[in-house]
Amino acid sequence: MSSSGPEPSASVLDVFRQSVAEIIARSLEIPIETAYDGVDLGKKGVDFTVAIPRFRRPGKPQELGKKIEQEFSPNDYLERLVVDGVFAHFYCNSKALTRLTLDQINELSRPTESAPFGTYGCNSSGRGKKVVIEFSSPNIAKPFHAGHLRSTIIGTFLSNLYSANGWETIRMNYLGDWGKQFGLLAVAFAKYGSEEKLAANPIMHLFDIYVAINKDVKEQEATGHSSVNEEAKDVFRRMEQGDTEMLALWRRFRELSIEAYKKVYQRLNITFDVYSGESLVTTANIDASMQRLRNSNLLVEKFAWESKRDRDYNAVGQQAQDEKPAYAVDLSKWKMSKPVVQKADGTTIYMVRDIAGAMQRYQQYHFDKMIYVVGDQQDLHCQQFFKILELMGEPYASSLQHINFGKVQGMSTRNGEVKFLDEILDMAKEAMLAQMKTNEDKFSNVEDPDFTSDQIGMTCVKIQDMQAKRAGSYPFDVKRMTSFEGDTGAYLQYAHVRLCSVARKVADETTLREDVTTINTDLLVEPKAREVVYHLATYPDAVRMALRVSEPSTIVTYCFRLSHLISSAWETLVVKGQDPEVAQARLYLFTCARHVLSSAMRLLSLTPLERM
């Protein structure tokens, strides 16, 4: 179904869909817009299917189907119609479909200044709209670990996807760069820090000293009091009060961390427009948020006994003597409990910082939509956060969306410590380099084995993450992930490389004509060719569908389906040694298939390879 309306200049299939809609609208006497929205892509060899009952017209759907069938006559775009009960199945004119599809792909795949890889698959449905997408969001001074991987990969895909659908997209990395942990880090650096180690590998050194100081804290807490904790609280208090020395150290840690993260992002083929963070949410906006909550009469008192997680109170339902209440927002009416926004000592917690951050972003960007790409363990927090903004009367509250995802299992080392992303990428890279070396002839033709194996390895990591529905968890399996057997990232890169090799292998006989209008596409009469052409024509639909469901797996599935179709067509659609006109037509088909597979891979943030 296409609810965005026809855009033939972006999707030639819309021309054929429009023709179906005109026939349905005329026979059932309904608006053409209504008919158009009811034209679905077909299955099992059918091009389009219309479910007649959906239009709720008077009379039996079977009789209406017969009426449509009787009034149908072939035209330039549609060659036949088959009515099966309450379904009307339409078949496109194959010659027109092939000619128009390949020519559009060829035209829209040409590089331009604003689109260096072409625009086939893109549309203008989001033109004039702005979306802010927050994703990745690691904690400063801690290594980029596997837990951030899913948010980074899914967030990048969504950013690419919204851009492909015409939206102005702002890619935001909201860093965990404020809080008591920076007090701990400052204390740790004073005790364990090394300027030499900091210069050599800032992230790992800061992580090592952070682990060391936390060990000290645990040992002290076991005795009943932690002087390190008190010292850290004092340092953070000084930071909040604007202490020049402490803020200078914090800025240094932040800048070093961002530079280190950028290297990882560059390796992953990922960029951000904004490096934001908790520290950049202004005190004025935090104070304004609390005042808005008070003015809206949303604050209620909450005592410690009301929280099941509070371990200082053994008797549930009893208020401690002289206890001061915290302040919360009562969302129990919506089964969202009663989240605290201000502690009993008057300090606000991260819920308020999120509220203030959303207000600040709307003031700055005036977005039409803002997306938070965060794991499903934050489901309740996001529901509470969005509901509070709605109750505050914020005009953008309904424009906020939480895109969640499940966990990756098996991402820890044997001793239970977290596995860092560089380790994972290196592991995948080494596995692919070893696999590449098994074929000495092909390996000798690869110009940069190090780069190539790294790209294949990253493709493997990303595809394993994106090929299932994002809400599900999946086991991290390097052996399965880097296999060339089955639907893996390595297989996808191989499919693209093989498409690239076609032109090289036939270069001594034929090269694709610059004037493609002289290529006789009517010679592509084989059923396999028809299957490939139709699938190529549906790529813009796949892009629109992916946006509706926010699922990377939609595009991954499309890529594998195209790769399988191409794989099954090699023996039937031979180029080398054929009649020159037939060879041109088939080379044109494979060239267009390469363009589309490349486009889809780039949408997934992959780098398509030409040799491997």
Active-site option among 43, 130, 142, 462: 142
Q: What is the DSSP string of 71-92?
A: H----SSEEEEEEETTEEEEEE
Query: Distance (Å, rounded) from C-alpha 135 to C-alpha 276?
Result: 11
Report the amino acid identity of residue 565: L
Active site residue 496: no
314's tokens: 């053994």
Q: Is 79 exposed, middle or buried (0-12, 13-18, 19+ CB in 10 A)?
A: middle
Lookup: tokens for 131:
């979306």
Tell me if residue 225 is catalytic: no
- Contact partners, residue 49, CB within 8 Å, separation at least 6: 40, 41, 42, 43, 87, 88, 89, 90
- Measured in whole angstroms, how far is the alpha carbon of residue 79 from the centre of its chain? 39
- Strands 168-175, 130-134: parallel, antiparallel or unpaired by DSSP? parallel
Catalytic residue among 148, 302, 496, 595: 148
Largest separation between any pair of C-alpha atoms in the chain? 95
The DSSP 8-state label assigned to residue 178 in this structure reads -
Residue 596 φ then ψ, to 5°: -70, -45
Among 89, 145, 535, 595, the one annotated catalytic: 145
Q: How far apart (Å, rounded) are the C-alpha atoms in residues 413 and 427?
A: 13
Cβ neighbours of residue 317 closer than 8 Å, sequence gap 6 or more: 305
> What phi, psi does 588 have (nearest 5°)?
-60, -45
Nearest to 154 by CA among 609, 451, 463: 463
Instruction: Please say whether the beta carbons of 61 and 52 come within 8 A.
Output: yes
**How far, CA to CA in Å, does 269 sit from each of 153, 199, 562?**
10, 25, 23
User: How many other C-beta atoms lie within 10 A of the C-beta of residue 477?
Assistant: 12
400 vs 117, 119, 164, 354, 382, CA distance in Å? Answer: 31, 28, 20, 12, 9
So which residues are the catalytic ones? Answer: 142, 145, 148
